[in-house]
Structure 1
Amino acid sequence: MNKPSFIEHPWERAGVVAPGLPILPHGVERHPVPGGGSRAVPIFKGDEISVVDRDGLQPGEMVVFAPDRTSDAGYLGTTGHGKPQGIIDTLANGSRSGAKVLAALSAAGFDIGKGDAIKLFEGGSRPGDSVDFTAETDGLLILAAPSAPMSPETQDTATDLALYIRRADPNMGKVPGQPADPLADPLHDANIQPGNAHAYEVKAGEYIQILDVQGRECSDFQAFSLRALDKGIEREIDPTTTRSLMGSLYPGPGIFSKYWSVDQEPLVEIIQDTCGRHDTFGLACTARYYEDLGYPGHVNCSDNMNADLARFDIRPRGGWPAINFFFNTMLDDTNAIGMDDPWSRPGDYVLLRALSDLVCVSTACPCDVDPANGWNPTDIQVRTYRANEDFQRSVGYRKSAEADVEETKKTAFHDCFARHTEDFVEYAGYWLPNTFPSIGSIGEYWAVREKAAVMDLSPLRKYEVTGPDAEELMQACVTRNMKKLSVGQVSYTAMCYEHGGMIDDGTVYRLGETNFRWIGGNDTSGLWLKEQAQKRGLNAWVRNSTDQLHNIAVQGRLSRDILSQIFWTPPTQTKVEDLPWFRLTVARVGDVSGTSVVISRTGYSGELGYEIFCHPKDAVEIFDKVWEVGEPMGMKPLGLGALDMMRIEAGLIFAGSEFDDTTDPWEAGIGFTVPLKSKEDDFIGRAALEERKAHPHRKLVGFEIEGGTVPSPGDCVRMGKAQVGEITSAMKSPYLGKVIALGRVAVTHAEVGTEIEIGQLDGMQKRLKARIVPFPHFDPTKERVKGNYA
């Protein structure tokens, strides 16, 4: 198989590299095909086609239909295999990508059952392998990445394919710089060129999409209550009222999603946001702004808005308060407002829903004298959609800076937890329950401490690491000794960069001699494994299985009793009730014919607990079985709020709090995961970690804090006037009845018993007296997590 002959690369100019702005060669298009999904793309005679298997081992299937509705693999110069069963099965699985392909086939009148299948990567493939074709006719190409549901004990996960097309005529197909396809049939579709404004009416319930066509372009938005305008009163979005009511600089999809007028009437709400970085501090750009910079007469958004809003008898203003979508502003320590290039990429958008009949106005900002539009003003697309469209709430998520944006997903357990709460928050690309109001975070907390609770941990990233060199890859990439890891054993470990800073912490499951599963908190760790396998030329595959394995955790002293009533294990596997700490077992619901799961004795609560992994299609069944047995025993659902309290008490670390890529495992409080003496093999970061251990600078410690004030993460820790550290996490412990915290301090002041102060306000004006204590604060000998209850 070949390597791809053309591929995107980051935008670069004069030493500035922007991975978020991928550049394809002229006339080349890229169409991602999700694992288990499909894509339909028009092709033209002479087009060069490449299909790339980026992760390896993902089969593909392709069909081409000519305009006369015939299908023949010879249209791509290859041999066919008859009926495309893989595509047919993929289109029937209910995926969103399949629905779009079915719509395209229906519109063209093509019968997929009469297609001539082209099989791709049948004999297995290496990461990055590609197959190339040349179109000998115009037509419609359908590409699928077929996949059956992955059993939790197997590792045949579905991964993405990428379709590249180099057009014989670059003017055919998708033209660069054109807006992305609409989300649905639009009611109104307007392109706004830089230096222009566009006013339009929207009815209550309808949707408004503000789309940044080419990226790095700001768009001012304002909306007026039409009901108020009919009375001669102007009531538009008021940024100050919105910030006050929503408790954030700008709303986002979720509970706190609305923009309000000064009368505290909600006018619009955010449904989807793929960028997540906007502004509500400044005005739309004004004539005065440019005049003060020395550009009198420069076209500006406020004047443009005045001109088009005059059609609705809205009075002009010298500067319009507006929601500056995609405008990247920030506050510094002196409360000065600054700006930088927008975060938006080509095709990023915000989708709003009108909560009243509105007059709206949108602009494409003309500013070319500062970074507001990346120094290159481009166009904005505005579309409106009918009120009966089904748009799900979503926050854009990217696995890396250069990755495609993904919508926020519901886990397979989402609807089960939604029976008990509507308080969901976005977490790493998924919606997770935050609290269960009928119980409260304290009630959820005590359920775990006294009985049991069930929580959704599906967003944990799972990567399948397989192949003859799988152990060598894991040995090189994590700090723990993988050679000592038995089949069926689980190891908690750190993963570091060469300089010793942490990429992630996570667990490694050994499923076989050459089969590992990495479970971490972020995609960076999985991408790092993949990168190292390729860099080192290892015969190992690293494939994302996060969407093939969703998991709940059952934690608390009754968790063993609950699970042992539900799951059966074969003689070759350990029974749930006999499962040791950090071991896994393959089990089934009820008996030998029941649904398959993987259960590990692991958790994030400091209590006896287990995690249950299943395929998403089986999630509701698994949850219902657990709830059926657990609820009569006092089990409650558990949200992120209560989980955070439990992990702080138990001294369990969290990315972005106790560690980041500047923090080594000792500074993060998990130096025990770096066995420098017993692991003789080299691993990434070893030399730096040896140096850091020999000459430590900071140490993670526990604090007990006088009074009832809970410090915030980032609050300074001081010895006199000198700052010697910072708080990483803090809470008022329900179990201990006192305020506790975790934090990093200089090793010179890290001794247990040291009296110290935590600074607030400017760090000097307000001090919280504290004392360094051992941690974990709760169950320091881990008797409870071992299941040893008094």
Structure 2
Amino acid sequence: MRSQAVLYAFNNVGHETPGRKFPGFRKPTQIRTYALSPREAVHLKMLPGDLLSVDGIAGVGELQIVAFSGDGGEALPALGLAATSELDTQSFDSAEFCGWVASKGGGERLSFGAHLLKASVEPIVLKAEKTADVWLVRPANTNDLINGTAGGVLSVSHAPAAPSGRPLPLPLGDMREEFTVQRGTGVAYELREGEIVQIIDIEGQQCSDFMAFRSDGLQSGQEWMIDSTATRSMVRRSYPEPGLFDKFYDREMRPMLNVVQDTCGRHDTFGLACTARGYEERGFPGHVNCSDNMSNALARYGVGRRSAWPAINFFWNTWVDPHHHTIQTEESHSRPGDYVAMKAMADMVCVSTACPDDIDPINGWNPTDIHVRIYRPDQPVRRAVAYREKEDAPMTISQNSAFHERLTSLTQQFAPARNLWAPVSFPSYGTLGEYWACREAVTVQDMSGLRKYDIIGPDAAKLMQLATTRNVEKLAVWRAYYTLMCDGSGTVIDDGTLLRLGPELFRWCCGSEESARTLEALARERELHVRIQDNRDALPNLALQGPKSRDLLQKIVFTQPHVPSLDQMKWFGLTVARLNDREGAPFLLSRTGYTGELGYEIFCAKSDAIAIWDAVMAAGEEFGVTPMGTAALEIIRIEAGLAARNAEFAPGVDAYEAGLGFAVDLKKEDFTGKDALERNAREPRRVLKGLLIDSDDVPAHGAPVYAGERQVGVVTSATRSPSLERAIAMARIAVEHAETGTNLEIGQLDGRMKRLGAAVSDIPFIDPQRKRARA
């Protein structure tokens, strides 16, 4: 599996004097690699001399290349190519491509000449002779995508002709102004209501202090600026983030700025900018500092001078030590080109600095410049945060799922689910309404944030047998397993559903990209003939859960005789179906879910997502179909005793301690972690149990569990159960205190001053025999 890089354009910044306008021009600075899945399209800008390298594509399908000149004309000759095929916009997820064509004046044009690259073992290298907008398209049939036979991931690299300058992200829209804040300086500037300010860390690991004042206040002699206490009280969080809790307020509790995008995710929101006194007391009298720089920059706006300025310390990596409650700091998490973008909710005066601190790690020991862009109002800037598969992976910006067009009319309450936005709840129903709909009728939930990997080839079964804890040799075609991946110590890496689509074809639906990296490493180590294909966002999926879910599906599911019908699907069965009839949109249907109720999951192509959503909602109207968000799902999955990543299983927690021993088959000849799990199964130290709490108080994740004065466990997940009408929790408890019925206490207020009485119980809390899901 190769990670998909973000498409960036870069400008040659150079060293500018503080506040001087910078015209900017695009200049790539490093090779960018893109991994294209079937039906995916990627857009990149090529300059004269740039190179485009396509890995050998034997066995992974085809690649079509379309190129346009600045005036919108076709420009394949700029790459030394000629049109050899016609681009079919139905053969890939073309919404972004068609939108781009329309924005360039192409209207509803549907015919495009393309150069088709077919199977080739050797890499193909193309050189741009002129500037061109290039689109790379992986055409594939939706049937092949659903069946896992559309081919593998194709790697394409774009190398600039003459790397130079420093990286800046592609502009978010129409800019009014941009300038560079040189290291060790500060710049004040005006921001009008509706405008967006983007503060960019050019080279990475550089902090930037920020403060803003309402213009109407300055005109009347009042310094109404961002107030840390008011903001903390209003948002009830310490850090800004897109979503519900994303604003900065003044002391009158009026919103000033709204966070739109944040690609770093770690900032110190309420600390002081560095001060002269701070440097003096460390032996550096006269050291340039941000507070003085801010006072100097703001003087022309009549702002009073201060020896210490409160500030939003963007990119400053701080945290509170959980044991000693002291503020800690280390190098910034920001990488080159990371930024924060905020929308002004009033006219204001702002100041930004490029911190001069070079005597401790906060700027990576090397202060650099900060770049500021100001965008005109009414720019279509999408709300987004950054997502990285792992620390050193390329960044992607959170995207809307294929169902977002329908979801956004029902709710504005979204939260990140890996690289996609997922709805938290739907105001028309409320979390409790969604909960009871799942228990008594049927719900539909966007689960597109799940990771889906196809494992294909003659050694596919052998790889999955080695990598997972269940016996894959017993898994029949059109059947699925809930199973685990563990490391050598038996610690759970990931859990998921393994679907068998053919003798040599599996689909692994899971929560973490680490699964794919684990499979890749194991395949290389054992020299197995297998391909691991990352479907990424090409297979959006819906979960239909609840006792009426089968009734709903019977109205819209069509299956061919050679695959299981809906009535023939037992628990953890699957089939390939179509919407309504043999000509309808294809989708994979599995009888699985994360609720403990009767339920199914639909996996489809992006181009068919809206049609399938509409069909589900129309067919489900008579059954009371209700959209469900992540908040209701969290209650239901805890009642059902279902494990979650970073809760029941986490680093250092083996499968048995996570309550997942039922998914481990120690009779298998070999699998990763078997020796450790055999040892731990004989003498477990901790087990996962339920706690029935004697009140409605819901303890926090990580709350200590006590027997008398001694801690004997820790809460992994907790909620209030509407069905049981009390608070419940799952907890990892020492085996000596884990017998059902044992009375324990959950510590609150530092674990000592308040205790919640609780009785140990078995899990699941509801329907322990899973009769509902098996119905």
TM-score by length of 1: 0.88
Q: Is the 8 A contact 2:689 2:732 kept in 1?
A: yes
Cα offsets for 1:3-43 (capped at 9, x unmatched)? xxxxxxxxxxxxxxxxxxxxxxx985325365522344445
Q: Pick the aligned partner of 1:742 from 730, 741, 757.
A: 730
Q: 1:280-333: per-residue Cα shift (whole Å, max 9, x none)?
A: 231111111111111111111110011111111111111111111111110113
Q: Which 10-residue stretch deviates more, 470-479 or 258-267? A: 470-479
In structure 2, give the amino acid aligned to 1:256.
F
Structure 1 residue aligned with 2:119, among 116, 119, 123? Answer: 123
Determine which of 130, 155, 163 is the counterpart of 1:161. Answer: 155
Confirm or deny: 8 A CA contact 1:87 1:146 kept in the other structure. Answer: no
Question: Are positions 1:282 and 2:271 aligned together?
Answer: yes
Show the counterpart of 1:698.
686
Q: Is 2:149 the counterpart of 1:187?
A: no
| 2:166 paired residue among 166, 177, 183 | 177
Counterpart-to-counterpart distance in 2, 1:297 and 1:473: 63
Moved more, 62-71 or 768-777: 62-71
Question: Contact 2:539/2:605 (CA < 8 Å) preserved in 1?
Answer: yes
Are residues 49 and 323 of structure 1, via their aligned partners in 2, closer, same or farther at CA, if it must alter by over 3 Å? same
Equivalent AA in structure 1 for residue 555 of structure 2: Q
- Matched residue SS, 2:567: helix
> Quick one: structure 1 residues 324 and 710, their matched pair in 2 at CA, closer, same or farther if it must change by over 3 Å?
same
CA distance in 1, matches of 2:206, 2:58: 33
Answer yes or no: is the 8 Å Cα contact 2:463–2:522 preserved in 1. Answer: yes
Matched-pair contact (CA < 8 Å) for 2:240–2:269: no
One-letter identity of the residue aligned with 1:317: R
Which letter maps to 1:275?
C
The aligned counterpart of 1:17 is none
Residue in structure 1 matched with residue 469 of structure 2 by the alignment: 479
Pairing partner for 2:705 from 717, 732, 745: 717
Counterparts of residues 64-79 of structure 1 (less than 5 Å):
none
1:469 aligned residue? 459
Deviation for aligned residue 1:95: 2.1
Counterpart in the other structure of 1:318: 307
1:329 aligns with 2:329: no
Counterpart selection for 1:401 from 377, 381, 391: 391
Aligned to 2:552: 562
- Residue type matched to 1:461 in 2? R
Per-residue deviation, residues 190-209 of structure 1 (Å, max 9, x unmatched): 11111011111111101110
Alignment of 1:36-75 (within 5 A): 36-44=40-48, 50-52=53-55, 57=60, 59-62=62-65
| Distance (whole Å) between structure 2 residues aligned to residue 269 and residue 205 of structure 1 | 10
2:295 aligned counterpart, secondary structure: helix
Would the aligned equivalents of 1:218 and 1:327 in 2 still touch at CA under 8 Å?
Answer: yes
C-alpha distance after superposition, 1:738-768 (max 9, x if no partner): 2211010122222222221111112122211
Return 5+ residue gaps in structure 1 as ranges: 1-25, 107-111
Structure 2 unmatched ranges of 5 or more? 1-27
Q: Indicate the residue corresponding to 1:431 in structure 2.
A: 421
Cα 1:100–1:198 change in 2 (3 A) is farther
Partner of 1:369: 359
Residue in 2 that maps onto 1:21? none
Q: Counterpart of 2:457 in structure 1: which amino acid? A: G
Secondary structure (helix, strand or coil) at the match of 2:396 reads coil
Distance 1:89 1:616 in 2: 11
- 1:691 deviates by 2.0
Alpha-carbon distance, 1:480 to partner = 1.0
Aligned to 2:31: 29
Separation of aligned partners in 2, 1:490 and 1:135 = 47
AA aligned opposite 1:284: A
The RMSD of aligned alpha carbons is: 2.9
In structure 1, C-alpha distance between the alignment counterparts of 2:644 and 2:219, rounded to whole Å: 53
Q: Give the deviation of 1:56 after TM superposition.
A: 7.8
Matching residue of 2:222: 233
Shift of the alpha carbon at 1:335?
2.4
Are residues 438 and 595 of structure 1, via their aligned partners in 2, closer, same or farther at CA, if it must alter by over 3 Å? Answer: same
- Distance in 1, matches of 2:476 and 2:523, equals 22
Deviation at 1:149, TM superposition (A): 5.5
> 1:188-267 maps to which residues of 2 (within 5 A)?
188-267=177-256
Aligned runs of 1:292-691 on 2, under 5 Å?
292-333=281-322, 334-677=324-667, 679-680=668-669, 682-691=670-679
Rounded to whole Å, the distance in 1 between the matches of 2:293 and 2:30 is 37
In the TM superposition, what whole-angstrom CA distance separates every residue of 1:377-419 from its partner, at most 9, and x where no partner exists? 1111100111121001011111122222112121122232333
1:53 shift after superposition: 7.0
- % of aligned pairs identical? 41
Q: 1:758 to 1:53 in 2, by over 3 A?
A: farther
Partner of 1:93: 94
Displacement, 1:158? 7.2
Q: Is the 8 A contact 1:473 1:532 kept in 2?
A: yes
**TM-score for the superposition, normalised by structure 2:** 0.89
Q: Please give the alpha-carbon distance, in whole angstroms, between the structure 2 residues aligned to 1:550 and 1:63.
A: 26
CA distance in structure 2 between the aligned counterparts of 1:431 and 1:114, rounded to whole angstroms: 35
User: Are the counterparts in 1 of residues 65 and 137 from structure 2 also a CA contact under 8 Å?
Assistant: no
User: 2 CA distance for matches of 1:272 and 1:72?
Assistant: 35
1:102 deviation in Å? 9.3
1:20 counterpart residue number: none
| CA–CA separation in structure 2 for the residues paired with 1:653 and 1:449 | 19
Q: For residues 436 and 234 of structure 1, what CA distance do their matches in structure 2 show?
A: 39
Change (3 A) 1:56 1:296: farther
CA distance in 2, matches of 1:535, 1:202: 56
What residue number does 2:3 align with? none
Deviation at 1:99, TM superposition (A): 6.6
Aligned mate of 1:146, from 138, 159, 172: 138
8 Å CA contact 1:145, 1:160 repeated in 2? no
What amino acid is aligned across from residue 148 of structure 1 in structure 2? Answer: A
Q: Contact 2:59–2:152 (CA<8 Å) still a contact in 1?
A: no
The match for 2:8 is none
How far 1:578 sits from its partner (Å)? Answer: 2.8
Distance 1:578 1:412 in 2: 29
CA distance in structure 2 between the aligned counterparts of 1:554 and 1:548, rounded to whole angstroms: 19
1: distance between equivalents of 2:518 and 2:538? Answer: 20
After superposition, what is the alpha-carbon deviation per residue over 1:86-132, rounded to whole angstroms, capped at 9, x for unaligned? Answer: 59989992326x877998999xxxxx9678x472xx3266xxxx725
- Whichever residue aligns with residue 144 of structure 1, its letter is L
Spell out, residue by residue over 1:30-62, the C-alpha distance to the aligned partner (whole angstroms, 9 max, x if none).
2536552234444555x6654347998264345
Q: Which residue in the other structure is 2:4 paired with?
A: none
CA 1:460–1:390 in structure 2 vs 1: closer, same or farther (change >3 Å)?
Answer: same
SS in 1 for 2:395: coil
- Partner of residue 22, structure 1: none
User: CA separation of 1:444/1:429 partners in 2, compared to 1, >3 Å: closer, same or farther?
Assistant: same
CA distance in 2, matches of 1:586, 1:624: 19
CA distance in 2, matches of 1:193, 1:217: 11
In structure 2, the residue corresponding to 1:728 is in which secondary structure? strand
Which one-letter code corresponds to 2:451 in the other structure?
R
Q: What is the rounded CA distance, in whole Å, between the counterparts of 1:70 and 1:596 in structure 2?
A: 34
**Stretch moving more, 659-668 or 151-160:** 151-160
Task: Measure, in 2, the Cα distance between the counterparts of 1:575 and 1:243.
Answer: 55
Q: Is the 8 A contact 1:217 1:378 kept in 2?
A: yes
